[in-house]
A = this chain, B = another copy of it.
Amino acid sequence: MVLKQLKQFDNPMHVSSESLLEFVTVLFGRAGLSQEDAAGAAEVLVEADLAGADSHGVCYSLPSRVHGLAGGKLNPSPDIRIVHETPSTALVDGDNALGLTASRRAMDIAIAKAHEVGTGTVALRNSNHCGMIAYYPMMALSHDMIGLAMSTTPGASILPTFAKDPIMGTNPIGFAVPADKEAPVILDIATSVVATGKIAIARALGIDVPEGWQVGEDGNPITDVTATKGSRGLPLGGTRELGSHKGYGLALMVDVLCGVLSGNGAGFLLPLPRSCSQYFQAIRIDAFRPADEFKQDMDVALRHLRELPPAEGHERVYYAGLQEGEMRAKRLKDGIPLPPHTVGALKDLASEFEVDFPREL
């Protein structure tokens, strides 16, 4: 199965998550971020690697961001500020910060408001690509809150249902819910059939993609990975009869809540590469019922799901966040595997900015 192949590669270099975090923090500092912002941004990337969301981790995401900061495309000392607020909401201006930095700040504001009045909702404009969308909802977990986040994306790769040309972004949605002993629910989904990053990894590894991931200008499926560049993706659902209007509708919801509500503009109207906007929400559980009871109920529900009898040909049933939680435990212990085809670029970055590269575990 292709999805498994995308996570496999020969001869990985294993580094500990601590040393990778340290490396990225120092590098972001050299690129101009404050110590606090550098540590925060590094954590977003390394948490993606720990969760197995490799396309949003250090290897695939760091070089462009460091060069963006050092080269002045991104603002390393932004004035991230609340433009307008009510007790439960804020409109935040990211001042062209690194998306990771502005998004952390915005989610912090949502959490603070949820502590005060039950929920907090923040729309963020003048931001940039925020990395793994699930990171921000996960920030709510330790506060006994449910977290939600959405983001527009820089590209125009997804076809609206029945449209000739791709104009939508992959517009992801992240959602996180705490449990007591079970791994928390962590949903992290593009509203397209597949995230652009997965196709980029398939290209890097030379693996053909399944029918339904990409189509050509004629609308016919493309599976030859060497032909995917410049081709078009489909909204979640794929075809109209199988629900593509649902993926397209969810992508529009993301564009409205992030782009129009923040005043940044619907992603699909912006020139390429598009600036990004985000939407965050924190929901305090004990605004509804005692958090302990809620988390115990979550345990019962999640255990029920992971103990469901699997269909023939499958080993087990998962829920959103279970594999990520298991991957995190494994990578904390065994280290994070860096694919050989990306280590070179990271080492170049290390020598360019005169930072020690992490040692192999």
Q: Is the CB of A257 within 8 A of B84?
A: no
8 Å CB contact of A236 from B177, B243, B261, B263: B243
Chain A residues 275-310 with CB under 8 Å of chain B are 283-285, 287-289, 293-294, 297-298, 300-301, 304-305, 308-310
Complex CA gap A294/B259 in Å reads 10
Please, which residue of chain B has its CB at the minimum distance from the CB of A189? B246
Residues of B close to A189: CB separation below 8 A: 243, 245-246, 249-250
Q: Is the CB of A243 within 8 A of B89?
A: no
Say whether A272 faces chain B, with CB atoms less than 8 Å apart.
no
Say whether A123 faces chain B, with CB atoms less than 8 Å apart.
yes
The SS class assigned to the A binding surface is mixed
Residues of B close to A167: CB separation below 8 A: 308
8 Å CB contact of A87 from B88, B175, B265, B305: B88
Do A252 and B320 form a contact, CB below 8 Å, given A3-B240, A84-B289? yes
Complex CA gap A102/B288 in Å reads 17
Chain B nearest CB from A295 CB (Å) reads 9
Residues of B close to A293: CB separation below 8 A: 263
Q: Is the CB of A256 within 8 A of B84?
A: no
Say whether A46 faces chain B, with CB atoms less than 8 Å apart.
no
Complex CA gap A122/B245 in Å reads 27
Say whether A333 faces chain B, with CB atoms less than 8 Å apart.
no
Say whether A144 faces chain B, with CB atoms less than 8 Å apart.
no
Chain A positions within 8 Å of B, measured between CB atoms, are 1-3, 84-89, 91, 117-119, 121, 123, 146, 159-165, 167, 175, 177, 185, 187, 189-190, 193-194, 210, 212-213, 219, 236-238, 240-243, 245-250, 252-253, 255-257, 260-263, 265-266, 268-269, 283-285, 287-289, 293-294, 297-298, 300-301, 304-305, 308-312, 314, 316-320
* 9 additional contacts (CB under 8 A) given A119-B121, A262-B289: A87-B87, A91-B288, A123-B288, A162-B314, A210-B241, A248-B319, A261-B288, A261-B294, A263-B293
